């Protein structure tokens, strides 16, 4: 149920067709719990998502991307192609090392400079 509604939502995002959204976070390379977020990365070279979702946290502090968090859904929206590709590369690296703890994954992304948090 939840996975289908997230997939339906992702299909509404005007992302670059040659760069489909990808799953990252514990559901991709860790040991997810039932209450783990669904973390997706998308490339959207211009504009921004309509983030007028009541209760959503929007973080514009990272120079490479902004994030939108609402309930169990966390979107990292990259405008910069190089940063998007780096996020994909890091996710693929962590998938190869699966399972990876949250602390290990956070350290990898912090070292790259691609992280930010919605609080």
Q: Which pLDDT score is estimated for 119?
A: 43
Look up the pTM and report it: 0.77
User: Domain limits of the chain?
Assistant: 2-112
Q: pLDDT tens per residue, the chain (119 residues)?
A: 455 566 666 666 665 666 888 999 999 999 999 999 999 998 877 655 554 555 556 666 665 677 777 778 888 888 888 989 999 999 999 999 999 999 999 899 889 877 655 44
Rounded to whole angstroms, what are the CA distances from 28 to 37, 51, 66, 92? Answer: 11, 25, 20, 9
CATH classification code of 2-112 = 3.30.460
* Tokens standing for residue 74: 């966390």
Task: Please identify which residue in the block is written with the tokens 């669904």.
Answer: 38
First to last CA, the chain: 26
Nearest to 43 by CA among 72, 75, 91: 75
Triad 8, 70, 7: Cα angle to 5°: 15
How many helices (H) and strands (E) the chain has is answered by: 4, 5
Cα–Cα distance between 56 and 46 in angstroms, integer?
A: 21
């Amino acid at each position: 149920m939840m996975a289908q509604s997230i997939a339906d939502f992702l299909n509404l995002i005007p992302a670059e067709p040659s760069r489909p959204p990808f799953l990252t976070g514990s559901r991709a390379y860790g040991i997810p719990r039932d209450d783990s977020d669904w973390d997706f990365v998308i490339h959207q070279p211009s504009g921004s998502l309509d983030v007028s979702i009541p209760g959503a946290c929007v973080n514009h502090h990272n120079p490479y991307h902004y994030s939108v968090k609402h309930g169990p859904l966390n979107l990292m929206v990259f405008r910069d192609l190089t940063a998007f590709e780096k996020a994909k590369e890091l996710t693929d690296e962590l998938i190869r090392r699966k399972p990876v703890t949250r602390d290990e994954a956070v350290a990898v992304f912090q070292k790259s400079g691609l992280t930010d948090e919605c609080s």
